[in-house]
Amino acid sequence: MFSLISSFMIEGVLSVIAIGIVALIVLILIIRNVVVVPQAHVYVIERLGAYKQAWHTGLHFKVPFIDRVARRISLKEIVADFQPQFVITKDNVTMQIDTVLFYQVVDPVLYCYGIEDPINAIDNLSATTLRNIIGDLELDETLTSRDTINQQMRILLDEATDPWGIKVNRVELKNIIPPQDIQTAMERQMKAEREKRESILIAEGKKESQIRIAEGEKEAAILRADAKREQAIREADGQAQAILMIQKARAEGLAMIKDVQADQAVISLRGLETMEKVADGRATKIIIPSELQSLATAGLTIKEMIQEPADLPEDSKSEN
């Protein structure tokens, strides 16, 4: 009886252990087949080796032993920095060009099944495209046409990678390394150009300085001429004002004489006074009007008549 009970207990324990093991296995299978796709990623799912679907962001469950995640693809923009490539220009100059490519996966299915190694394919495609473009350009054009080369490479690579589910957003020439002798010649040319620009700037500075000096002298001469003209105008205005005042005073004097009704004798006497002032000057000749001459003669006659008694002898005086 005891042995029977013991066997039942052992069988129960074993069954519990078996159930636990099965439950653990099921739990592990569930956990391993629950897939969480992160943001900006896509998982390509295959069922029995064939493409089934593409899982985007979120929680997904795959069938154990039947479904598998074939590829995890990022939808973010990716930067591919390729090794420098040796290229030959149209004028047979060999140089190294380092390119940087910015691309993005837009179709995960084509990216997964369109080509075996997309990155290696893009690397080789960018190298051949770059050689084709640079082969049509000379050295100077290559050094000065970075934007044109970038644009042409982007267009060609974008068209070529469309069947692979890849979009090329941007292509940049990172470095252009010409041969050492070309670099030395370019440095000499740049130095000559700088010296040329320096000479031109110095000459233009001297020219500008001379022009400024000439303009200053011209403006100074104009200002001096304006000052002289202003001085002459003011002097002329002053003389005109003086003459006008003198004439006005004379007119007023004549008007006063006319108002007082002066006779000929007074006028003649004023004329003699004026002649007296004139005689005190430095004039060597004096022209006396006839009226003043007659008046002067009359004045001398009156003076002689007055002085004549004084010249008579003592006797005559006593007789008188």
CB 99 within 8 A of CB 153: yes
- Do 212 and 198 share a structural domain? yes
Domain assignment of residue 271, given as a range:
262-277+288-309
Q: pLDDT, tens digit, for every residue of 293-302?
A: 554 554 444 4
- Do 184 and 174 share a structural domain? no
Residue 275 pLDDT > 90? no
Query: Looking at residues 204-216, what average pLDDT do you find?
Result: 89
Instruction: Answer yes or no: is 214 within a domain.
Output: yes
**Of the listed ranges 85-89, 140-144, 214-218, the one predicted with least confidence:** 140-144
Q: What is the DSSP letter of 178?
A: -
Could you tell me the CA-to-CA distances from 139 to 88, 93, 151, 179 in Å, in that order?
Answer: 9, 7, 18, 11
**Under DSSP, is residue 269 helix (H, G, I), strand (E, B) or coil?**
helix
Query: Looking at residues 110-127, what average pLDDT do you find?
Result: 89
State residue 117's pLDDT score.
Answer: 87
Question: Which is nearest to 172 in space by CA: 248, 100, 239?
Answer: 100
Spatial separation of the C-alpha atoms in residues 256 and 250, rounded to whole Å: 10
Question: Which is nearest to 54 in space by CA: 167, 165, 169?
Answer: 165
Q: pLDDT, tens digit, for every residue of 32-42?
A: 888 899 999 99
- Do 98 and 172 share a structural domain? yes
- Do 252 and 217 share a structural domain? yes
**Under DSSP, is residue 105 helix (H, G, I), strand (E, B) or coil?**
strand
Spatial separation of the C-alpha atoms in residues 23 and 45, rounded to whole Å: 27
Q: What pLDDT band is residue 114 in, cutting at 50, 70 and 90?
A: confident
Query: Looking at residues 60-72, what average pLDDT do you find?
Result: 89
**Under DSSP, is residue 219 helix (H, G, I), strand (E, B) or coil?**
helix
Question: How many residues are given for the chain?
Answer: 320
State residue 271's pLDDT score.
Answer: 60
Structure tokens at 2: 């005891």
Instruction: Answer yes or no: is 7 within a domain.
Output: no
- Do 250 and 160 share a structural domain? no
Q: pLDDT, tens digit, for every residue of 222-273?
A: 988 988 988 888 888 888 888 888 888 777 776 776 666 555 555 565 665 5
- Do 199 and 135 share a structural domain? no
Spatial separation of the C-alpha atoms in residues 206 and 268, rounded to whole Å: 79
Domain boundary residue, one of 146, 178, 210: 178
Instruction: Answer yes or no: is 8 within a domain.
Output: no
Query: Looking at residues 299-312, what average pLDDT do you find?
Result: 45
Domain boundary residue, one of 108, 143, 178: 178
Find the helix or strand (DSSP H, E) in which 283 lies.
none
Which of 252 and 284 is assigned the larger pLDDT? 252
Q: What is the DSSP letter of 114?
A: S
Residue 155 pLDDT > 90? yes
Instruction: Answer yes or no: is 12 within a domain.
Output: no
- Do 296 and 206 share a structural domain? no
Instruction: Answer yes or no: is 27 within a domain.
Output: yes
Total tally of structural domains belonging to the chain: 4
Domain boundary residue, one of 45, 73, 101: 73
Which of 152 and 177 is assigned the larger pLDDT? 152
Find the helix or strand (DSSP H, E) in which 273 lies.
helix 264-279
Q: What is the mean pLDDT of the chain?
A: 79
State residue 306's pLDDT score.
Answer: 43
CB 283 within 8 A of CB 307: no
Instruction: Answer yes or no: is 11 within a domain.
Output: no
Q: What pLDDT band is residue 156 in, cutting at 50, 70 and 90?
A: very high
Which of 8 and 14 is assigned the larger pLDDT? 14
> What is the side-by-side order of every strand in the sheet holding 41-47?
50-55, 41-47, 67-74
Residue 81 pLDDT > 60? yes
Instruction: Answer yes or no: is 298 within a domain.
Output: yes
